[in-house]
Amino acid sequence: MFYREAGDFKTSYATDNQTFPIKFDRLGYFTVMAVAFLVIPFIINDYWANAIFLPFLIYAIAALGLNILVGYCGQVSLGTGGFMAVGAYACYKLMTSMPEVNIFFHVLISGGITGLVCVIFGLPSLRIKGFYLAVATLAAQFFLVWLFNRVPWFYNYSASGQINAPERTVFGIPVTGPNTEAWATYLFCLVFVVVSALIARNLTRGMAGRKWMAIRDMDIAAEIIGVNPLKAKISAFAVSGFFVGVSGALFFSVYLGAVEVGEAFGINKSFLVLFMIIIGGLGSIFGSFAGAAFLVLLPVVLKVVGVDWLGWPTDIVAHLQLVIVGGLIILFLILEPHGLAQLWRVTKQKLRLWPFPH
């Protein structure tokens, strides 16, 4: 009985509503936070930041956003790449047109703008459902990418059509541009991640979350019960868009620094984020993180093992990587269709009963 919840009684509904009602979990959470804020910044270097931490944090935000839409509200979207692009381009336009405003707000506003765009593309969800909707969101994906590629205003008429993040600072410390320090970019993203996670958690445990889940589980019944499907779906698209936009903005400004829209925000991105939430667990905040971590780490690990240790040719490793990622996705789905989050829950359940099997 490693993991206990017995003896952990609640005396008020407020404590029962907590994010981590179980003491054990709460402790774990505080430890993670402490390490993230107080330890990692001091030991992180460029490689770790760029190969692992930044992508992990940024994808985690996108995954949170998509999970709200897909996992909680049941509206499958394949437009994530396009929406991230909106965030990125919004951020670029803001950074270049209002250099005096702090980048922090640029990122937030980019999220807001993306939320709006997302809502527009979410409107058809009122009529179109299931896979039809999933495919329909590809319209957003392709259209947005085309738009940003085509309209020079978005890339400030640069000859190549690429956008480059100029240097911007927070408290005098650069967080974008070439002269950044690993710890600064890391902390900058971390703050967004933590805030996003809290917001997502709050929304999903309250009425908004219930409405989304109701729509997801049975939209007709939900409407008859009194859920306004328009509002519920639209709010899910908006919130999801906000997160995805923030992540797109960070992805461009902090992580890549320069972006070519079709490359960075193509359909592969949409799938990648979708994978994250499926592998992590649909309808789970923890799952969004787990999925992002898994899919960021996996290729890095495979590469280190294949190329650096075994010394195999890069192409064979790259092909093997596809095989392994594909195989793992299938394996995961077979073992636990509800993702890493569910695996974690079951493990906890088993630990709770341990050493008894049932």
Partner 1 sequence: MPEQLVFAMEVFLNGLMAGVLYALVALGFVLIYKASGIFNFAQGVMALFAAMTLVGIQKGQVPFSHLINAVLGTHIHHFGWHVHSLLAILLTVGVMIFLAWAVQKFVFRHLVGQEPIILFMATIGLAYFLEGFADLMWGSEIKTLDVCLTANACLPQGINLAIDEATYNWFGYGFFIDNLDITATIVAIILVSALVIFSQYTKQGRAMRAVADDHQAALSVGISLNFIWVLVWSVAGFVALVAGIMWGAKSGVQFSLSLIALKALPVLMLGGFTSIPGAIVGGLIIGVGEKMFEFLIGPMVGGATENWFAYVLALVFLVFRPQGLFGEKIIERV
Partner 2 sequence: DLVFPSLSYRTGPYAAGGIPFADGYADYFTLLNERDGGIGGVKTKLLECETGYNTEKGVECYESTKGEGALVYQPLSTGITYQLIPKTTADDIPMHTMGYGRTSAANGDVFSHTFNYPGTYWNGASGAVNYLLEINDGDIKGKKIALVYHNSAYGKEPIRTLEELSKKHGFELSLLPVDHPGQEQKSQWLQIRREKPDNVLMWGWGVMNQVAIQEAANIRFPMENFIGIWWSGAEHDVMPAGAKANGYKALTFHNVGRDFPVFADMQKYVVDAGKAAGAGDQIGNVLYNRGMYAAMLAAEAAKTAQEIHGTKDITASMMRDGMEALSITEEKMASLGMPNFGPSFEVSCENHGGPGLVGVTQWDAENKTWSLISDFKATDMEVIGALIEADSTSYAKENNIASNCNK
Partner 3 sequence: MSTQESYVTDDGRTIGPTVMEMKNITLRFGGVKAITDISFDIREGEIRAIIGPNGAGKSSMLNVISGFYVPQEGEVWYKGKKRPPMRPYQVAEQGIARTFQNIALFEGMTVLDNVMTGRLRKMNASLISQAIWRGKAEKEEIENREAVEKIIDFLEIQAIRKTPVGRLPYGLKKRVELARALAAEPSILLLDEPMAGMNVEEKEDMSRFILDMNDEFGTTIALIEHDMGVVMDLSDRVVVMDYGKKIGDGTPDEVRNNQAVIDAYLGVAHD
Pair 274, 268: CB distance under 8 Å: no
| Closest listed residue to residue 69, CA positions, set 216, 220, 286, 280 | 216
**Three-state secondary structure along 104-147?**
HHHHHHHHHHHHHHHHHHHHHHHCCCHHHHHHHHHHHHHHHHHH
Site string for partner 2, 36-65 (x = CB under 8 A): ----------xx--xx--------------
Are 66 and 287 in contact by the 8 Å Cβ rule? The answer is no
Paired tokens of 119: 């809502």
Residue 11 contact, options partner 3, partner 2, partner 1, none, Cβ 5-8 Å cut-off depending on partner type: none
Q: Does 177 bind partner 2 (CB under 8 A)?
A: yes
278 sits near partner 1 (criterion: CB under 8 A) = yes
Nearer to partner 3 by Cβ, of 16 and 263: the residue is 16
| Contact call for residue 127 and partner 1 (CB under 8 A) | yes
Distance CA 331, CA 256 (A): 32
Site track 298-317 with partner 2 (rule: CB under 8 A), x = hit: -----x---x-----xxx-x
Sole window of 12-20, 60-68, 136-144, 200-208 interacting with partner 1 (rule: CB under 8 A): 136-144
258 beta partners = 164
Tell me whether residue 206 or residue 326 sits nearer to partner 3 (CB atom).
206
Among 6, 38, 43, 159, binds partner 2 (CB under 8 A): 159
Among 161, 223, 302, 348, binds partner 2 (CB under 8 A): 161
Task: Please report whether residue 264 would count as binding partner 2 according to CB under 8 A.
Answer: yes
Residue 337: cis peptide before it, omega within 30 degrees of 0: no
Rounded to 10°, the helix 80-97/130-150 angle is: 30
Q: Checking phi first, is residue 20 left (phi over 0); if not, alpha (psi -120 to 50) or beta?
A: beta
Q: Secondary structure of 39-80 in the HEC alphabet?
A: HHHHHCCHHHHHHHHHHHHHHHHHHHHHHHHHHHCCCCCCCH
Q: Name residue 258's amino acid.
A: A
Residue 256 lies near partner 2 (rule: CB under 8 A) = yes
Residues contacting 22, CB < 8 A, separation 6+: 5, 8
If binding is defined by CB under 8 A, does position 221 make contact with partner 1?
yes
Angstrom CA distances, 134 to 1, 29, 35, 226, 356, stand at: 44, 34, 38, 25, 43
The number of residues that bind partner 2 (CB under 8 A) is: 34
> Among 101, 120, 126, 218, which residue sits at the site for partner 3 (rule: CB under 8 A)?
218
Partnered with residue 174 across adjacent β-strands are 169
CB of 115 to partner 3, least distance (A): 11
Q: Please report, for residues 61, 104, 239, the alpha-carbon distance to residue 210 in angstroms, rounded to integers and kept in the order given.
A: 21, 31, 14
Considering only 258, 325, 328, 329, the residue that binds partner 2 (CB under 8 A) is: 258
Considering only 7, 9, 13, 159, the residue that binds partner 3 (CB under 8 A) is 13
Q: Site for partner 1 (CB under 8 A): which residue of 36, 52, 139, 194?
A: 139
Residues that bind partner 3 (CB under 8 A): 12-14, 16-17, 199, 202-203, 206-208, 210-211, 213-214, 216-218, 220-229, 235, 239, 283
Residues that bind partner 1 (CB under 8 A): 70, 76, 124, 127-132, 134-136, 138-139, 141-143, 145-146, 149-150, 220-221, 224, 267, 271, 274-275, 278, 282, 312-313, 315-316, 318-330, 333-334, 337
Residues that bind partner 2 (CB under 8 A): 46-47, 50-51, 146, 149, 159-162, 164, 166-167, 177-179, 256-260, 262-264, 266, 303, 307, 313-315, 317-319, 322
